[in-house]
Amino acid sequence: MMNYAPDPPDTASAPAVQADDLTVVRGSRRVLRHLRFTVPPGQITGLLGPSGCGKSTLMRSVVGTQAKVTGTLNVLGRPAGHPTLRSRIGYVTQAPSVYDDLTVRQNLEYFAAILDPGRAAAERRRELVTRAIADVDLTSHAEALAGNLSGGQRNRVSLAVALLGTPELLVLDEPTVGLDPVLRRDLWDLFHELAATRGATLLISSHVMDEAERCHRLLLMREGEILADDTPDALRSRTGSDTVEAAFLHLVDQAVTADRAKESTR
Ligand SMILES: Nc1ncnc2c1ncn2[C@@H]1O[C@H](COP(=O)(O)OP(=O)(O)OP(=O)(O)O)[C@@H](O)[C@H]1O
């Protein structure tokens, strides 16, 4: 059972996400263990760590779709999963959720009609759909069937769907997987623009360490635990490393040594 803390004040400076003692069990395994971290508002926080360390589970917990979550997890001033959060959060999973037999524009129009129904909103929907398609650089493919797009393009349609409602918090699970370097750079430019001009908070997972350098803050994970919650600069300087990747490896080595020391005293 989630241990709901009293609602924190809903102010601009309050963390967008605040976790304390966050623990998640999947099957018979505890895949997240006593996590404590915050995600500041209006910034890009990167969630990095090796495959299987728990990034998707953490994201699912934040958006409220994960079962067996205990501890405290507040999102935009409400307990994670609170019904009022649905329209305030955009979530893109690793599996693109688009209809292959609809065009890019029709996919967007369909989801826009769910978010903002009624004839009176038709003009507003048209503008939002056009903006979202342009945001993800798919204007030239707007009339193409989603089923005929590449994997990376389909991922971008999913991202466009998430942008439709102008969400305050965007949770993106490995959004740049399978994209070429130019598209990856363009998407990161878009993420920065969303934070800077629309005030959005972005929580973005990746296992590509060079993407860490593009984030304002980082949560580094290993085996269901947070190794570090810091800025890229602070991480590099406190580990004496040139890159975030080297800093991460330094912290992993430290954690492994600490684990071994604990085991040898048992
Ligand atoms: N139903 C389940 N039962 C038991 N363990 C599970 C279940 N689902 C996931 N896991 C385990 O939970 C751990 C965390 O999985 P998660 O998908 O959150 O990792 P991840 O860091 O997002 O990995 P990736 O980068 O490969 O997507 C993994 O070790 C995985 O094997």
pLDDT in tens, 21-49: 999 999 999 999 999 999 999 999 999 99
DSSP 88-157: GEEEE-SS----TTSBHHHHHHHHHHHHS-SGGGHHHHHHHHHHHHHHTT-GGGTTSBGGGS-HHHHHHH
Write the residue with the smallest CA distance to atom 29 of ligand 1.
52
For residue 93, give both structure tokens.
């999973």
- For the CA atoms of 71, 61, 56, 48, the dihedral, rounded to the nearest 10 degrees, stands at -60
CA dist 266 and 258 (Å) reads 13
In this structure, what are the phi and psi dihedrals at residue 186, rounded to the nearest 5 degrees?
A: -65, -40
Domain ranges across the chain: 17-264
Q: What is the pTM of this model?
A: 0.90
**Is residue 29 lining ligand 1, measured as CB closer than 6 Å?**
yes
Predicted confidence (pLDDT) at residue 12 exceeds the cutoff of 60: no
Pocket test for ligand 1, best of 47, 53, 208 (most atoms within 8 A of CB): 53
Place of tokens 């602070």: 234
CA dist 117 and 113 (Å) reads 5
In this structure, what are the phi and psi dihedrals at residue 116, rounded to the nearest 5 degrees?
A: -140, 75
Arithmetic mean of pLDDT over the chain:
90
Predicted confidence (pLDDT) at residue 109 exceeds the cutoff of 90: yes
How confident is the model over 88-116, as a mean pLDDT?
A: 93
Cα separation values, 162 from 45, 71, 91, 254, Å: 18, 28, 6, 38
pLDDT in tens, 134-182: 999 999 999 999 999 988 889 899 999 999 988 999 999 999 887 888 8
**Is residue 78 lining ligand 1, measured as CB closer than 6 Å?**
no
Comparing CA positions, the residue from 115, 134, 133 lying closest to residue 125 is: 115
Comparing CA positions, the residue from 129, 121, 124 lying closest to residue 102 is: 129
pLDDT at 210 (0 to 100): 83
How confident is the model over 5-34, as a mean pLDDT?
A: 81
For residue 45, give both structure tokens.
């926080």
- Report the separation in Å between the CA atom of 104 and the middle of ligand 1, taken as the mean of its atom positions: 31
Predicted confidence (pLDDT) at residue 11 exceeds the cutoff of 70: no
Write the residue with the smallest CA distance to atom 8 of ligand 1.
26
**Is residue 88 lining ligand 1, measured as CB closer than 6 Å?**
no
Write the residue with the smallest CA distance to atom 17 of ligand 1.
56
Cα separation values, 161 from 129, 156, 204, Å: 8, 9, 16
How confident is the model over 189-212, as a mean pLDDT?
A: 92
**Is residue 53 lining ligand 1, measured as CB closer than 6 Å?**
yes
pLDDT in tens, 224-241: 999 999 999 999 999 999
pLDDT at 259 (0 to 100): 83
What fold is seen in the domain 17-264? Rossmann fold (3.40.50)
Predicted confidence (pLDDT) at residue 213 exceeds the cutoff of 60: yes
The pLDDT > 90 percentage for the chain reads 73
Predicted confidence (pLDDT) at residue 7 exceeds the cutoff of 70: no
Comparing CA positions, the residue from 164, 173, 172 lying closest to residue 133 is: 164
Asked if 91 and 75 touch (Cβ cutoff 8 Å), the reply is no
